[in-house]
Amino acid sequence: MESPVCNIPNIKKPPDYKLAGKHSTDHQTIIDVNGVMVGGEELIVMAGPCAVENKEQLLATAKLVGKYGAKILRGGAFKPRSSPYRFQGLEEDGLELLQLARLETGLPIVTEVMDTRHVELVGEYADILQVGSRNMANFPLLKEVGLSKKPIFLKRGMNATIEEFLMAAEYILSQGNERVILCERGIRTFETAYRNTLDLNAIPMLKSLTHLPVIVDPSHGTGHRWMVGPMAKAAIAAGADGLQMEVHYKPEVALCDGEQSLYPEDFKRLMEELKVLAAAVGRKIRSRVKALKL
C-alpha cells in the first residue's frame, strides 16, 4: 500500500539521481585515469586541439600543453559539426594519431564518441570517452558508454537543466560505470555576444548536489580566445575540479574552433596564473610530471 505521506501535496520527492546524488555516498569521487587523479586536491587541466588534424599539429600541440602542465590531452577524431560540409574529423586515423601522441608524451587521452557503434573502437584508443553536449541526451549512447570500462567525460547539453544533466550521468552510472566526470561547457541563452553563456552557477550547484568531479570548459563556454583565461580563473575560484581547454599550435590555420583556441604561449601564461589562484582556494596545480617524455 502506498504511504499516505506521498499523497500530501508539496512534499518534495527525493531526486531521481540516486547514484549521482550526494545523498548516495559520503565521499567525493576521485577518478584515477592512468595515475592522473580527477576530483582530488590537484586541479586537472585537459588541453589540446579541438580536432586531430594531422601528425605534426597533434604532436607539436601535445608536447607543448604537456610541457606547460596539462595532465590529459584532448582532441576530437569524430567531430560533431553543425554543417555536414565541414571537416568531420579523421576518425580511426585520428585515433591512431592520438595513440602516437600518448606514446610520445605520456599524457592520457580524452576523445569524443558520438555513435553507439563506435564505443568499442574509441575505447580501444582513449583513456577517457567524451560524450559531447549534443549527445548528452542520447540515451542509447549513455547506456552504451555505461557498459564501457573507461571513465566518461560527460558534457552538459547546451539546453539541459542541472537536473537533466545529473539524470544523464545517472544513465551511465546505472549501467555499472561509476567513473563519470561532469563538464560545464556553457548553455544557450538570448545572448549572442559570445558562443555560449558559461554557467558558473552550475559549479557550486553541482558540487552541492553530486559527488562526481566537475570540470569546466571555458573554450566552448565563450567562443573567444581572449575570454578563456578570465573564465578559466572564475571557474577555479568557483570550485571547479579542473578545466578542459582548446589549445592549437597554430590557431589561425585550425580546421575547427581556431578562434577560441589558445596559442601555446597563452596557455603557458594562464597555467602560471592558475597556479597562484589554485593555492588561494586550497587546491594545487602541479608542474609537469618528470616521467613525461617532453
Positions in the binding site for ligand PEP (CB under 6 A): 50, 76, 80, 112, 132-134, 155, 185, 220
Residue 133 or 210: which CB sits closer to ligand PEP?
Answer: 133
Residue 80 or 176: which CB sits closer to ligand PEP?
Answer: 80
The answer to whether 246 and 79 have CB atoms below 8 angstroms apart is no
Report the distance separating Cα 75 and Cα 37, nearest Å.
20
Helix (H) or strand (E) holding 205: helix 202-209
Residue with nearest beta carbon to ligand PEP: 132
Q: How far is the CB of 257 from ligand PEP (least distance, A)?
A: 7
Residue 185 or 283: which CB sits closer to ligand PEP?
Answer: 185
Report the distance separating Cα 84 and Cα 256, nearest Å.
13
End-to-end Cα separation, the chain, in angstroms: 65
Q: How far is the CB of 72 from ligand PEP (least distance, A)?
A: 13
Q: Which of Mn ion, ligand PEP, none lies near 221, with the C-beta cut-off 5 to 8 A by kind?
A: none
Q: Tell me the HSE value of 228 on the side-chain side, using a 13 A CA sphere.
A: 25
Q: How far is the CB of 154 from ligand PEP (least distance, A)?
A: 10
Residue 84 or 282: which CB sits closer to Mn ion?
Answer: 84
**β strands within 49-176, DSSP E:** 72-74, 109-112, 128-131, 152-155
Q: How far is the CB of 161 from Mn ion (least distance, A)?
A: 23
Report the distance separating Cα 54 and Cα 90, nearest Å.
8
Residue with nearest beta carbon to Mn ion: 50
How far are the Cα atoms of 43, 238, 269, 278 from residue 209, in angstroms, in the given order? 20, 15, 33, 22
Residue 105 or 135: which CB sits closer to ligand PEP?
Answer: 135
Q: How far is the CB of 67 from ligand PEP (least distance, A)?
A: 22
> Where along the sequence are the contacts to Mn ion (CB under 5 A)?
50, 257
AA identity, residue 64: L
AA identity, residue 161: T
Q: How far is the CB of 86 from Mn ion (least distance, A)?
A: 12
Q: Which of Mn ion, ligand PEP, none lies near 67, with the C-beta cut-off 5 to 8 A by kind?
A: none
Residue 86 or 293: which CB sits closer to ligand PEP?
Answer: 86
